[in-house]
Amino acid sequence: GYAADESIVAHVWDQDKVERNRPELAKYLSHFPEMSKWSQPGSGNHWRKLGSLVEHVDALVGVATDPKTPHGMLRLIERFAEGARQWLKVAGGAKANLLSSVFCGRSWEPWEFSLECGAFVGYTSIRFAAALRGQLGRGRGRAVSVEVDPVQACIARHFVDLAGCSEIAEVWVGQFRDVLPRAVEEFGVRALGFAFLDYKGTIFHIDLASLERLLAFAPGGIAVADNVVLPGAPLYLWVVTRHIAWATTVWALQEFLEPNVEDWMCVSEYCAPLFPEVDEPPVSWQRLSWHTDHMRRRAQGMRPGENLMAEQDRVSYARYIRSIYRDGGVDAQPWADVPHDISLRSRHEYRTAAVCSTQLPRPAWGGLH
C-alpha cells in the first residue's frame, strides 16, 4: 500500500540526510543543560524537555507503527507530549483538525506553497507537507516553515527528515520579517496558498500587511492565526475582522492537552488585493497587546521575578482576554472535531464588505497597486 511505499522511500532516500544532520544535533544536545537564557524561549527546563523529545523520537522511530511516515512521526511527538511534565506547545488535537480541514479544503496549484511562521520542532511542518503531498503528489508544492531559534530549527529539520518529507518541507532560520522577501523571490508573487501564524501574536498584523504588500497571497489564499486568546493577538484580530480584503471566521476550541483552556484561532480568506486604512483599535486593545507580550515572557520563564503560569492562571487570563474581545464586538464559533464547511463570513459581514468595497477600486489580481 501507499504507507508501506512511503516508508521504504523515506528509509532509502532520507537516511543519508538524517545521518548528516545527526552530528550537528548531537552538538546542540550536549549543551542543552547550559542553554538557559541565550536562546528563545528562556526556560532551562525547555532545553531539557527538547533533549528528551529527541531521544524519545530517535529511540522509537524504528519500532513504532508506520515509523518513517508523516503520521507516525506526528503520533510519536504527541505521545511524548502526553507524558507527565512533558507538554509541548504544538497545534495538536482540535487545532490540528481545524488546520487539516482548512488546508485540505482549498484547491492547490502545483506552484503554490504554504508558509508557517514558528516551526518549533516541525510538528505542523510535517502535517502540512503530508497534506500537500496528498493534494498535489510527491515533489510538487512546498511547505516552508520559518524558525528564529537555530536549535529548534535543527530539531525540526531532523524530524522532517525522519518523516520522509524533505522533498516538500523546508525549514528556514531567521526572523520572519526578514525572510518574507525571500519567499516571494523563490516562489513568485501570488503563490502563497496558506499562511500559518504561530509565533509572537502582537506582530501578526504587521507581518500579514507585509505579505499583502509583497503581493504574496494567491487568489483565495488563507491565513490562519493560532493563540489569538492565549497568549493573545488583539491587534491582529481587530484588523482581520474589519479589513474588507479579508473574510474571517473566529473559532473557539480547546488547547492541545489542556481541556480547561479555551483558545481561539482566526481563519481568514484573502478576497481581493485592497489596501484601505483600518480604524485604530481602542486604547484598551492596544494596552491588552502590550500585556499579552508581558504574559508571553512570563510563560517562557523570561521574568525571573514572577512565577511561571499555572493552568489556573492560564484559564483565568484567557477568560479575561475573551471578555475584552466580546466587549469589542468579536466572538468565536465553537469548533467540533468533525469535517466543516468553512463559511468565512456571516451574511451580515458580507453585506458590510460589499457596501464598503463599492467605494474602492478593485484591482485585478495580477496588477501592481
- Predicted confidence (pLDDT) at residue 359 exceeds the cutoff of 70: no
pTM of the model: 0.79
Q: What is the pLDDT of residues 166-214, one digit of tens each?
A: 889 999 998 888 888 999 999 999 999 999 998 876 788 889 999 999 9
Under the banding of pLDDT at 50, 70 and 90, the label for residue 127 is: very high
- Predicted confidence (pLDDT) at residue 84 exceeds the cutoff of 70: no
CB 236 within 8 A of CB 208: yes
Residue 61 makes CB contacts below 8 A (sequence gap 6+) with 67, 68, 72, 73, 76, 162
Q: What is the pLDDT of residues 12-59, one digit of tens each?
A: 334 455 555 656 666 555 655 544 444 444 455 777 888 888 888 888
Q: What is the pLDDT of residues 329-356, one digit of tens each?
A: 899 999 886 544 454 443 334 323 332 3
Q: What is the pLDDT of residues 237-255, one digit of tens each?
A: 999 998 888 999 999 998 8
Mean pLDDT of the chain: 78
CB atoms inside a 10 Å sphere around CB 197:
27
Q: Is 167 exposed, middle or buried (0-12, 13-18, 19+ CB in 10 A)?
A: middle
Predicted pLDDT of residue 136: 80
523520537: which residue's cell? Answer: 57
Residue 221 makes CB contacts below 8 A (sequence gap 6+) with 192, 193, 194, 195, 269, 270
Predicted pLDDT of residue 352: 33
- Predicted confidence (pLDDT) at residue 266 exceeds the cutoff of 90: yes
